[in-house]
Amino acid sequence: MRIKWFWNKISIKLLIAIIISFSISLFIAYIILYNLNRFHLLTSNRLSVDQYNLIVNALTAVVILSFIISFLLIIRKKIKYLKLITNSVQNIANGKLGSTIVIKGSDELGQLSRNINLMSKELENKFEHERQIENAKNELITNISHDLRTPLTSIIGYLDLLRKKEYKNEEQLTDYVKTIYSKSQELKSLINELFEYTKLTSPDVKLNLTAIDLGGLLEQIIGEYIPIFEKEGLCFQKSIPDEDLLVTMDVEEMVRVYDNLFMNAKKYSAKPTFIKINLDSDGKNAFFTISNQVADFQVEDVNQLFERFYRGDRARKEDGGSGLGLAISKRIVEIHGGKLTVDYKEGWLTFTIEHSLKE
Ligand SMILES: Nc1ncnc2c1ncn2[C@@H]1O[C@H](COP(=O)(O)OP(=O)(O)O)[C@@H](O)[C@H]1O
Ligand SMILES: [Mg+2]
């Protein structure tokens, strides 16, 4: 291993090239001297001092020249490879991200090419990622504008009627004001959810983590929802183990997720029915599920529910939710390292949250 490393060093290769070139030039000098001697050119007295000097100088020049030529011939492949690397880096710098260099040898130049290839791929991935974020942002802005405009248009419309005193009686006036109020509330919650969503999708979102018993937390949330659900003709059928299931979470954020799942069950469940709540663990993970019955569920792919701004017909007509609730919930669960999934079977819609238990 060490021997291979030694021979793969470019300095060693250069040193060898120098030794070989030097030997070649010495050999050439030897041949010339040998031939000059054969004809007694240097030892005879036929040469003047100048001629003698000329021969010695010419010999030196031949030695230096042959050294340079043989050295360049030996290292020409490396120089060609270095040029290739330079051109490839130039191409990458000009925007041809993802392009790679053929790796030749395992010396420093080979390693350099390998690292440049890695860098090029990494840059390409980063750019692609940025592009996707940019597209998602643009799409989000388009959707937002549409969703903000709808309640705002009706607020403006009703305010215009009030301004022009275009109402028949006190009752109609109250009706208009009620509508304006509820549309403003809708706008407010939409803006809040939007703010929440953008905050959560930023890469440096911070969680305020604490360890908490999930069973206890759920009991508390269910307790708060019982009267609200009863009013809608819904009741709970729950199974929560007595043992402590410790989970590390940002309680405020996770409660937001549970709230959305409970409120969705309340809003979109068939009535009167019951809501099934289950908490389980396999020793490593805790599994929370909430299931409700749905009348005429006509979604091709249940995962569509997690899409931003996806709203079922009922949500569109009656409640006016933002359609961001589940997208936000999924994101919150994921930044906790958990999973939020949905499943539809025989009239029941089930949402599952998988949390890893604290060790
Ligand atoms: N428990 C559920 N039962 C039936 N449909 C649901 C349920 N939860 C969500 N949905 C459907 O998914 C859509 C998206 O939900 P969500 O993202 O929370 O937005 P919102 O509640 O603002 O409509 C809802 O409009 C509804 O059509
Ligand atoms: Mg919701």
156-191 pLDDT, tens digit each:
999 999 999 999 999 999 999 999 999 999 899 889
CA of 344 to the centre of ligand 2 (A): 17
Does residue 248 share a domain with residue 173?
no
CA 70 – CA 251 distance, rounded (Å): 74
Please give the distance, rounded to the nearest whole angstrom, from the Cα atom of residue 227 to the centre of ligand 2.
19
Query: Which of 177, 200, 223 is the last residue in one of the domains?
Result: 200
pLDDT for residue 314 is more than 70: no
CA–CA separation, 341 vs 303, rounded Å? 8
Ligand 1 contacts CB of residue 322 (under 6 A): yes
Distance linking the first and last C-alpha atoms of the chain:
42
Cα 247 from Cα 14, distance rounded (Å):
61
Asked if residue 62 is part of any domain, the answer here is: yes
| Owning domain of residue 31 | 9-93
Nearest to 251 by CA among 143, 190, 174, 332: 332
Would the pTM of this model clear 0.85, i.e. be above it? no
Whether 268 maps to a domain, the answer reads yes
Q: Say how many Å lie between the CA of residue 305 and the centre of ligand 1.
A: 6
> Encoding tokens for residue 320?
């006016």
pLDDT above 70 (res 2): no
- Pick from 200, 225, 241: which residue ends a domain? 200
Q: Is residue 153 part of a domain?
A: yes
In a domain, 102, yes or no: no
Q: Same domain for 289 and 230?
A: yes
Asked if residue 284 and residue 348 are part of one domain, the reply reads yes
* 293: confidence class by pLDDT, cuts 50, 70, 90: very high
CA distances from 67 to 23, 128, 219, 310 (A): 8, 51, 88, 76
Residue 67 lies in a domain: yes
In the reported structure, the alpha carbon of residue 296 is separated from the centroid of ligand 1 by a whole-number distance in angstroms of: 14
Helix (H) or strand (E) holding 292: strand 285-293
In degrees and rounded to multiples of 5, residue 163 shows phi and psi of -60, -40
282 is written with which tokens? 């396999």
Query: Is the bond into 272 cis (omega within 30 degrees of 0)?
Result: yes
Give me the phi and psi of 300, to 5 degrees please: -65, -50
| Mean pLDDT for the stretch of residues 328-354 | 96
CA proximity to 112, closest of 89, 137, 144, 142: 89
**SS3 state of residue 100:** coil
The residue whose CB lies within 8 Å of the most ligand 1 atoms, and thus the one to mutate among 190, 326, 349, is 326
Atom of ligand 1 nearest to the CA of 315: 25
Q: Is 140 in the same domain as 60?
A: no
DSSP run (H or E) holding 199: helix 170-201
Neighbours of 331 (CB within 10 A): 22
Q: Provide the domain count of the chain.
A: 3
Smallest Cα–Cα separation from 123: which of 115, 112, 133, 111? 115
Q: Is 264 in the pocket of ligand 1 (CB under 6 A)?
A: yes
Q: What is the arithmetic mean of pLDDT over 301-312?
A: 89
Residue 230 has pLDDT above 80, yes or no: yes
Long-range pairs, 86-91, Cβ under 8 A, ≥24: 88/113, 88/116, 89/116
Res 8 pLDDT > 90 = no
